[in-house]
Amino acid sequence: MDVLNFHAARNLRAGLAAALVAQAALAAVPAAAQQSIGTAVAVISDVRAEHGDKTRPLKPKSKVQYEDFVVTGGEASTQIMFLDETVISIGPGASLLLDAMVYDPGSKDGTFVVTVKKGLVRFASGVQPSQNYLIKTPTSSIGIRGTELDILVEDGGETSVMLRQGVITVTDAGGRAVELTTPGTFTNVGTGAAPSAPAPAPAALKNMGKSLTNPGQGNGLSAEWREAKAAWVADRKAVAAGLKADRAEAHDTSQSLQQAAKLARKAGGAAPAGLTAKDLSEVGAANAAGHGKGLDKEHGKGKGKGKGLSK
């Protein structure tokens, strides 16, 4: 069965939400008492819900419950519509915990908390006030205001978040936050790292989210999804290689500065050509802390101060 076009799924809200809300007559009671909090409106291939020590397959029209752990296979995808008309699309190889869902259809108030453990998820908030929504990942938490967004969590917890509509605030475990206000921008949060500054999202990330809205037919995924995923993996490898090269260059520069500073001290304090006072100050502190050891071997362990500097 096709996964519904994302906007078409949202257009179904009026009819389906009415049926779902009918299940929420006790919506004001604690979430644990609400056995059904949403419905799988479309399913491709192997999608399951784990709840405690029990696992059940999800099919179209299957109900999802509070504290369900939804898992998609490597060739699978699903869309879930919740009582408050929130729509979540979950891509292949993903997992999502439905932490909390309380909804009062009378006041349109409640709580909606999910944790994206792994994979790509597209989230469109429903009719609850924005402050009721919270999306968590292993490295961040996301607050929203009238929002559609894509969230990609990779192995190790690194999280990329792209805004499609509205405003989001992405906060790391240390409380450092970045706000996205322009559609098509994204931020990245690695383990122990602050959220990166807002920047235009890579095409591969945009295309993955786009293909997720209608990833294929039958039991397979579209070529568009596969191409977008492969491009994203290639992009991340290129970024990682670039960072590695930058670190190596910075290390070599630091070593050169340390050596130059030490030679300058041996020469009586004169700075070699091209080495500024600021450079000497910075690496001098490092040398004082014990860096640069082993350089003496190349210069006679300090004997014959200044020898070789005029060469």
- From first to last of its 311 residues, the chain has per-residue pLDDT tens of 344 554 455 555 444 444 444 444 334 444 444 478 999 998 988 999 999 999 999 999 999 999 999 999 988 889 999 999 999 999 999 999 999 988 888 877 799 999 999 999 999 999 999 999 999 999 999 999 988 999 999 989 999 999 999 999 999 999 999 999 999 999 999 988 899 999 999 988 888 877 675 544 444 455 655 666 676 667 767 766 766 666 666 766 766 677 766 666 666 665 555 555 555 555 555 555 544 444 444 444 444 444 443 44
Asked if 78 and 130 sit in the same domain, the reply is yes
What's the distance, CA 93 to chain centroid?
15
What is the rounded distance in angstroms from the CA atom of residue 170 to the CA atom of residue 155? 19
122 and 268 in one domain?
no
Which residues are 162's β-sheet partners?
Answer: 150, 186
Whole-number Å distance between alpha carbons of 10 and 256 = 60
| Helices (runs of H) and strands (runs of E) counted in the chain | 5, 15
* Rounded Cα distance, 280 and 265, in Å: 10
Using alpha carbons, select from 205, 113, 221, 133 the residue that is nearest to residue 164.
Answer: 205
Residue 258, domain member (yes or no): yes
Same domain, 288 and 185: no
Around Cβ 44, how many Cβ atoms within 10 Å? Answer: 24
Whether residue 175 lies inside any domain: the answer is yes
CB 295 within 8 A of CB 264: no
Helix (H) or strand (E) segment spanning residue 241: helix 223-266
Residues 96 and 191 in one domain: yes
Q: Which residues pair with 143 in a beta bridge?
A: 169
Judge if 197 and 260 occupy the same domain: no
Q: Say if residue 214 is in the same domain as residue 226.
A: no
Within-domain flag for 254: yes
- Residue 242 is part of which domain span? 222-295
* Nearest-5° Cα angle at 78, 74 to 80: 150
Q: Which residues, including other chains, have CB under 8 Å from residue 209's CB and lie 6 or more apart?
A: 120, 122, 150, 162, 164
CATH number at residue 89: 2.60.120.1440
Nearest to 72 by CA among 45, 97, 102: 45
